[in-house]
Structure 1
Amino acid sequence: MSENRPNIKKKRQPVSDRRKFILNMARGAGLAAMGGFIWSAYIDEVTASTLLLRPPGAIKEEDFLKTCIKCGLCVIACPYDTLMLAKPGDNKPLGTPYFIPRDIPCYMCPDIPCVPVCPTGALDEASVTTDGVLDINIAEMGLAVVDADSCIAFWGIQCDACYRACPILGEAITIEYEKNERTGKHAFMKPVVHSEACTGCGLCERACVTEKPAIFVLPRETAMGRAGDYYIKGWDKDDEKRLEDASEIKTTTEISNQSAMDSLNDAGDLY
Structure 2
Amino acid sequence: MKLSSVVAGLSAAVVAFQGVAYAAQGEASLLRPPGAQGEKDFSARCVKCGKCIEACPYLALFPAPGDQGFATGTPMVDARSQACRLCEDFPCVDACPTGALRDVEQRLDVRMGTAVIDEDLCIAFQGMRCEVCYRTCPLIDQAITIDYRMREGDAIHSVFAPVIDKERCAGCGLCVERCVVDEPNVAIRIETHAERARGGA
Scaled by the length of structure 1, the TM-score of the pair is 0.60
Indicate the structure (1 or 2) with the bigger Cα radius of gyration. Answer: 1
Find 2:29's aligned residue among 26, 34, 51.
Answer: 51
Counterpart-to-counterpart distance in 2, 1:225 and 1:193: 20
Name the counterpart of 2:168: 197
Name the counterpart of 1:119: 97
How many residues matched?
176
Counterpart-to-counterpart distance in 1, 2:133 and 2:197: 20
Give me the CA root mean square deviation. Answer: 2.1
Instruction: Tell me whether 1:94 sits opposite 2:57 in the alignment.
Output: no
Deviation at 1:94?
1.9
Name the counterpart of 2:51: 73
Q: How does 1:92-171 map to 2 (within 5 A)?
A: 93-124=71-102, 127-128=103-104, 134-171=105-142
Deviation at 1:225?
8.7
Counterpart-to-counterpart distance in 2, 1:225 and 1:66: 18
Provide the secondary structure at the position in 2 that maps to 1:69: coil
Higher RCO (C-alpha 8 Å, min separation 6): 2
Provide the secondary structure at the position in 2 that maps to 1:89: helix
Deviation at 1:181?
3.9
Counterpart-to-counterpart distance in 2, 1:91 and 1:224: 19
The CA deviation string for residues 130-163 of structure 1, in whole angstroms up to 9 with x for no partner, is xxxx212320001000011111111111111100
Provide the secondary structure at the position in 2 that maps to 1:137: helix
Counterpart-to-counterpart distance in 1, 2:151 and 2:51: 51
Find 1:216's aligned residue among 186, 189, 198.
Answer: 189
Deviation at 1:221?
5.0
Provide the secondary structure at the position in 1 that maps to 2:53: helix
Find 1:188's aligned residue among 118, 143, 159.
Answer: 159
Counterpart-to-counterpart distance in 2, 1:113 and 1:169: 23
Give ranges in structure 1 of 5+ residues lacking alignment.
1-41, 129-133, 227-271
Provide the secondary structure at the position in 1 that maps to 2:91: coil
Deviation at 1:90?
4.7
Give ranges in structure 2 of 5+ residues lacking alignment.
1-17
Identify if the C-alpha distance between structure 1 residues 84 and 92 changes in structure 2 by more than 3 Å, giving closer, same or farther. farther
Counterpart-to-counterpart distance in 2, 1:149 and 1:190: 12
Identify if the C-alpha distance between structure 1 residues 179 and 77 changes in structure 2 by more than 3 Å, giving closer, same or farther. same
Counterpart-to-counterpart distance in 2, 1:138 and 1:63: 17
